[in-house]
Amino acid sequence: MSVDPFAGDPYVLVPAAPPQGDYLRLRADSGLSPKRPEQADGALAGSWSWAHVRTATGQVVAMGRVVGDGGWYFLVADMAVDPEHQRRGLGRRVLTRLLDDIRSRAPQGAYVTLVADPPGRRLYESLGFRDVAPGATGMVLDLAVPDEGGQRA
């Protein structure tokens, strides 16, 4: 694993999942879609790799995870940074840790994907990600939860 270039700053990189409450709060605070506790439980337990960043006082301010089969396919997900701590390199720190983990534990030839919101595009491109279009199409199927009237949200 590479040397941590952020060793002298006020943040601590933790190569593990954050607590459930912090996961839910950070998703909502950073502008990602809110999730329910049972969704968080699945994400926390079912991910291949995690990293989060804490302040010196223990507040979780950034996170990201990798969902993968351990063989060749890996998806970067839940990249989130608390708005009060953005523009300090925390997203890069988390993503670099996750990519280092894939490089060190996955077999050669790993395929890493993600779906990026526009503000994250520059970070992802700077670390080697590229747009798959026009050679491929990114798609999504959102199995939304029915609202109280039985309608899909």
pLDDT tens-place string over residues 106-125: 999 999 999 988 888 999 99
Higher pLDDT, 100 or 2: 100
pLDDT over threshold 60, residue 59: yes
pLDDT, tens digit, 9 for 90 and up, residues 27-44: 999 999 999 999 999 999
Question: To which H or E segment does residue 125 belong?
Answer: helix 121-126
pLDDT, tens digit, 9 for 90 and up, residues 63-87: 999 999 999 999 999 999 999 999 9
> What pLDDT score was predicted for residue 120?
87
> What pLDDT score was predicted for residue 99?
97
- Calculate helix-pair angle for 20-29, 37-46, nearest 10 degrees: 110
CA geometry: angle at 141 spanning 27 and 46, to 5°?
50
Residue 23 backbone class (left: φ over 0; alpha: ψ -120 to 50; beta: rest)? alpha
Of 7-21, 78-92, 131-145, highest mean pLDDT: 78-92
At position 118, the amino acid (one-letter code) is: P
End-to-end CA distance of the chain: 43
Q: What integer is the mean pLDDT of 47-74?
A: 96
From CA 54, how far away is CA 4, in angstroms rounded?
A: 15
pLDDT over threshold 90, residue 6: no
Across 11-69, the runs of DSSP E, i.e. the strands, are: 11-14, 49-55, 60-68
> What pLDDT score was predicted for residue 5?
53
